[in-house]
Amino acid sequence: MYGYAAFLIIMSVGASVYSNFASATTWIPAGLAVPMILFGIMGAMITRKHVVGMIGIHAGLVFPLIYTLMFAMLTWRQFTAEEADYRLFLFGSLLLGSIVAFVLILLTRPKPEQRGG
């Protein structure tokens, strides 16, 4: 989850720099990283606070899926626009990154014997 949050922040900073800081909306992906960081912290608490850890893990799995749908819609909107700009690359990269993040989070979640509770 932390890696996905870092990816969102890096893409956000890169888009802002590329657009010469022309748009405040390029910082939105960085804001989307905040819940992922919180879910990572919650997920790490699974051995001490089982319920909090399970909420963190499951929310951390659901949010990349929500982000995937959102980035898919934004990518399609840019793809069908008359003038595609850097946002097509940004949203397309965020879309692919969200899919990869979901799969990696799913594959690296704690095994049942590590979850406690």
| DSSP for 14-64, written as a single string | HHHHHTTT--GGGGHHHHHHHHHHHHHHHHHTTTTSHHHHHHHHHHHHHHH
Answer yes or no: is 63 within a domain. yes
pLDDT of 117 strictly over 70: no
pLDDT band at 47 (very low <50, low <70, confident <90, very high): confident
Rounded to the nearest integer, the mean pLDDT of the chain is 90
Q: Residues near 18 by Cβ (< 8 Å), separated by ≥ 6?
A: 86
Q: How many domains are there within the chain?
A: 1
Structural domain for 76, as ranges: 2-111
Answer yes or no: is 88 within a domain. yes
What is the rounded distance in angstroms from the CA atom of residue 9 to the CA atom of residue 76? 22
Answer yes or no: is 29 within a domain. yes
User: How would you class 83 by CB atoms within 10 Å of its CB: exposed for 0-12, middle for 13-18, buried for 19 or more?
Assistant: exposed
pLDDT of 96 strictly over 90: yes
pLDDT of 23 strictly over 70: yes
pTM beyond 0.75: the answer is yes
Answer yes or no: is 70 within a domain. yes
| pLDDT for the residue numbered 116 | 61
